[in-house]
């Protein structure tokens, strides 16, 4: 949109952000950059799977990840993922951040300390640090559909949409003298709400505070899965939840799934069409229910949010409750998926431990 305004010869002083837009190269330059970053992410993902397989797991043929499996993981989870394609084509820079994160992970696996530290700092300055300051300074309640905020919506009712702070609102929008008698009984006391909101911010931060170090200690021998699990838990329990945040863990999903071990049922026959695709029956039965759960939970969450956005005024407080329940259901689905993936990580016996003789110099 920004290059379009620039090409229509609007005054640059009216749009300060347009002064640095390189629209003279291409109107779609940003989208091309982000799509290129998507392809580079796939190449780095392939390299991470290969390096981590050699470093942390034994060289047994039963534990090696074939190139065919790697291609399926990267293609299905990242390259041909509609979420990834939609976010990049609409001009969002999450793929650039993902490329920096993957580069940092690859350098950690290769023990390139200086370069990994540089890329880690780049990741923070690209996204996390301005995002944190941005959300910490926002005081309105209408910038997300996270489940943590719905008790506030339900307590405050209609006035929450017009409030800049929990204790101040514009009386011209809702003149108290024109409201029918008994109508104000539906509104929660704002002083109590303000104290509750301060407590609520602290309680909402506790899940991430517990899960992030807990998952880090549990999965420290599997860096790809550890990074994915931490990011997945952070996004699921974050106070702000949007679809573009899913790319934070989607970019780590292929290398994390390479650490998963799925039990095989040797007695069950593999269908012909799965053999043609190079897939195993056990893999499909493990992954398909999780995929359907996640897509279904997100679809219900977004559908009710769409109704709220378009027809919210006609549905009343019941729509807030339905939206909150959909958010809670989606959160529970994410927790279940995380438990299944972490529980399916290769057992400790499969992790490669170098022998003492391997560490001694040759005589």
User: Residue 76 is encoded by which pair of tokens?
Assistant: 């299905």
- Structural domain contains residue 289: yes
127: Cβ–Cβ under 8 A, 6 or more apart, which residues? 94, 97
260 Cβ contact list (under 8 Å, min separation 6)? 225, 341, 344, 345, 346
- φ, ψ at 251 (rounded to 5°): -70, -20
Q: Which residue has the higher pLDDT, 214 or 272?
A: 214
Asked if residue 271 is part of any domain, the answer here is no
Question: What is each CA distance from 239 to 14, 245, 263, 330, 340, in whole angstroms?
Answer: 33, 12, 36, 14, 23
Q: Which helix (H) or strand (E) segment is 163 a member of? A: strand 163-165
Residue appearing with tokens 């047994």: 60
Q: Which of 302, 317, 301 is nearest to 152 (CA)?
A: 317
How far is residue 80 from each of residues 83, 139, 180, 236, measured CA to CA in Å?
A: 9, 38, 55, 23
For 87, what's the count of Cα atoms within 13 Å in the CB-facing half-sphere? 25
Compute the average pLDDT of residues 68-97.
83
Position 141 scores a pLDDT of 43
In the chain, the N- to C-terminal Cα span, in Å, equals 68
pLDDT band at 157 (very low <50, low <70, confident <90, very high): very low
pLDDT confidence of residue 360: 41
Q: Is 179 helix (H, G, I), strand (E, B) or coil?
A: coil
Instruction: For residue 252, give the nearest of 87, 117, 95 by alpha carbon.
Output: 95
Which DSSP category does 187 fall into? S
State pLDDT tens for residues 203-219: 778 888 888 888 888 88
pLDDT surpassing 80 at residue 273: no
Give a yes or no: residue 270 inside a domain: no
pLDDT above 70 for 354: no
Structure tokens at 309: 């956005």
Mean pLDDT of the chain: 71
Please tell me the distance from the alpha carbon of residue 153 to that of residue 113, in angstroms, as a whole number: 46
- Structural domain contains residue 269: no
Q: Is residue 283 part of a domain?
A: yes
| Residue-level pLDDT at 200 | 76
Which pLDDT score, from 0 to 100, does residue 140 have?
45
pLDDT at 5 over 80: no
Structure tokens at 289: 């229910």
Between helices 94-109 and 29-56, what is the axis angle to 10°?
A: 20
Name the percent of the chain lying above pLDDT 70. Answer: 58
Exposure letters 27-43 (e unless 16+ CB within 10 A, then b): eeebeebbbebbebbbe
Is residue 156 pLDDT above 70, yes or no? no
Classify 165 as helix, strand or coil. strand
C-alpha span between 179 and 181 (Å, rounded): 7
Q: Collect all residues with Cβ–Cβ distance below 8 Å to 182 and sequence separation of at least 6.
A: none
Among all chains, which residue has been given the structure tokens 């997945």? 232
Question: pLDDT category, 185, cuts 50, 70, 90?
Answer: very low
The per-residue pLDDT for 130 is 35
Domain hosting 64: range is: 2-264+276-359
The tokens 């998963």 sit on which residue? 260
Residue 303 located in a structural domain: yes
**Per-residue confidence (pLDDT) for residue 133, from 0 to 100:** 34
pLDDT band for position 335 (cuts 50, 70, 90): very high
In angstroms, how far apart are the furthest CA atoms of the chain? 94
Helices (H) and strands (E) in the chain, counts: 16, 2
pLDDT of amino acid 281: 65
Task: Give the angle 147-150-153 at the CA atoms, nearest 5°.
Answer: 160
For the entire predicted model, the pTM comes to 0.70
Structurally, how many domains does the chain consist of?
1
CA atoms within 13 A on the CB side of 137: 6
Which region among 54-58, 134-138, 223-227 has the lowest average model confidence (pLDDT)? 134-138
Residue pair 83/250 in contact by the 8 Å Cβ criterion: yes
Q: What integer pLDDT is reported at residue 150 of this predicted model?
A: 43
């Amino acid at each position: 949109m920004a290059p379009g305004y620039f090409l229509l010869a609007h005054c640059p002083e009216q749009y300060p952000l347009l002064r640095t837009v390189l629209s003279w190269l291409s109107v779609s330059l940003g989208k091309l950059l982000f799509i290129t970053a998507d392809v580079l992410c796939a190449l780095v993902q392939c390299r991470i799977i290969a390096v981590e397989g050699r470093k942390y797991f034994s060289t047994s043929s039963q534990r090696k990840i074939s190139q065919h499996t790697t291609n399926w993981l990267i293609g299905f989870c990242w390259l041909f993922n509609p979420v990834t394609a939609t976010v990049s084509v609409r001009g969002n820079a999450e793929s650039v951040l993902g490329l920096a994160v993957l580069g940092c992970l690859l350098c950690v696996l290769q023990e390139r300390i200086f370069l990994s530290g540089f890329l880690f700092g780049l990741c923070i300055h690209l996204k996390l640090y301005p995002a944190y300051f941005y959300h910490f300074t926002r005081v309105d309640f209408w910038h997300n559909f996270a489940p943590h905020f719905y008790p506030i919506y339900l307590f405050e009712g209609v006035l929450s949409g017009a409030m800049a702070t929990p204790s101040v609102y514009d009386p011209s929008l809702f003149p108290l003298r024109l409201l029918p008698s008994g109508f104000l009984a539906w509104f929660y006391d704002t002083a109590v709400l303000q104290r509750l909101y301060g407590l609520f911010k602290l309680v909402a931060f506790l899940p991430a505070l517990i899960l992030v170090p807990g998952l880090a200690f549990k999965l420290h021998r599997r860096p790809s899965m550890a990074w994915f699990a931490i990011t997945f838990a952070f996004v699921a329990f974050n106070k702000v939840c949007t679809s573009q945040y899913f790319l934070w863990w989607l970019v780590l999903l292929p290398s994390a799934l390479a650490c998963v071990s799925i039990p095989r049922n040797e007695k069950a026959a593999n269908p012909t069409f799965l053999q043609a695709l190079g897939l195993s029956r056990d893999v499909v039965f493990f992954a398909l229910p999780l995929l359907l759960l996640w897509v279904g939970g997100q679809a219900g969450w977004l559908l009710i949010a769409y109704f709220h956005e378009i027809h919210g005024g006609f549905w009343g407080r019941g729509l807030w409750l339905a939206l909150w329940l959909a958010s809670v259901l989606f959160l529970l689905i994410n927790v279940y998926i995380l438990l299944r993936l972490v529980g399916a990580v290769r057992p400790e016996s499969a992790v490669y431990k170098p022998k003492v003789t391997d560490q001694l110099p040759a005589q």
